[in-house]
Amino acid sequence: MTAVTDILASGRKESSPETIWRRLTRELRENHFPYLLLIPSILCFAALVIYPLANTIIGAFAKTDTVGRAVDFGGLINFRDLIRDKYILSITIQTVIFVFGSVALTVVLSLPLALILNQRFPGAALARALLLMPWAAPLAISSMTWRWIFHDQLGALNYVLNSLNITQARTAWLSDPVLAFACVIFVEVWSSIPFMTIMFLAGLQSIPPHIYDAAKMDGANSWHEFWDMTLPQLKRIIIIVTLLSVIWAFRSFNVIWPMTQGNPFFRTDNSVTYLYKLAFRSLTFGKGYALAFATFVFLLIFSVVYTKVLRSEEG
């Protein structure tokens, strides 16, 4: 009886799952050289991502001096001061409108453009190459160029409108709050269209052509092909590209700051430009840290909820 018990016990020990620590140790022992090659990348990631993120989290819950160093634990005092800020509500609304408005417009314009570039026509390769120019150019330089285009006295836009007799007025595009906000959204969309279009174009070219041939044999028209076949095939790409575009639009500093610096009267600020003003102009680093942390948490929650909802729809 004892021998049988010992055999069963030894069998249970052999079939017991391997612990995470032993699995990690075995993996490092068997594949130590690839992991050694990863050390420089890990150190760079820690220095450029982990350390700034940790510093932001610490600063959001700490009292800071005039150069942004944490000097004492402050609890939620930075968030309390941020909520009491008289501009924070309007900045939040502007950020939401700017982000989701620009992303929605980019999707609406990029998908038809990708469908056009997916066709065979003379100069298609040249058109695809030219499409990448706004995305390849440094965004800050492009934004400064658009600032001069929108200039009320020297800008090319007013000159063209006057030459075509559309209007003889010198419109102050970047001085009017509504027009200035529309201009920064326009430039954000203009700079985002190339990337999104190329991604959609790559997705379109990965769709097997035989499914369209079968649909045509069944009598499907162009609209049915697009709605019932093209869009479902592009769904995963649309999900990924839209999520990336939302994250990038939230940190769109290189568009707004060179063009307007948030003017007039904070009416073109978003969360990133406003936290820059809080930290480096008003020297209220605590509020800047709090706003940066709140933006990070919002984007994290949005990303998780967004992907889970869309995955549940797929299931």
Based on the fold, state whether residues 115 and 228 are members of the same structural domain.
yes
262 is a domain residue: no
Based on the fold, state whether residues 218 and 299 are members of the same structural domain.
no
pLDDT score for 8: 46
pLDDT score for 104: 95
Which residue pairs from 220-229 have beta carbons closer than 8 angstroms and sit at least 24 positions apart in sequence?
226/115
Residues 152 and 170 sit within 8 Å (Cβ to Cβ)? yes
Host domain of residue 217: 88-255
Based on the fold, state whether residues 98 and 218 are members of the same structural domain.
yes
pLDDT-based confidence at residue 18 (cuts at 50, 70, 90): low
Tens of pLDDT along 181-237?
999 999 999 999 999 999 999 999 888 888 877 777 777 777 878 888 888 889 889
Tens of pLDDT along 154-190?
899 999 999 999 888 889 999 999 999 999 999 999 9
φ, ψ for residue 159, nearest 5 deg: -65, -45
pLDDT score for 6: 54
φ, ψ for residue 165, nearest 5 deg: 60, 25
pLDDT score for 313: 64
Tens of pLDDT along 43-78?
999 999 999 999 999 999 999 988 888 888 988 999
Number of domains into which the chain is organized: 2
Domain with residue 142: its CATH number is 1.10.3720.10
Residues 175 and 246 sit within 8 Å (Cβ to Cβ)? no
Instruction: Spell 218-251 as b/e; 16+ CB within 10 A means b.
Output: eebeeeeeeeebbeeebeebbbebbbbbbebbbe
Based on the fold, state whether residues 45 and 66 are members of the same structural domain.
yes
Based on the fold, state whether residues 112 and 75 are members of the same structural domain.
no
Does 96 score more than 80 pLDDT?
yes
CA angle centred on 286, ends 280 and 291, rounded to 5°: 85
Mean pLDDT, the chain, whole residue set: 87
d(CA 274, CA 194): 27
Based on the fold, state whether residues 93 and 152 are members of the same structural domain.
yes
pLDDT-based confidence at residue 13 (cuts at 50, 70, 90): very low
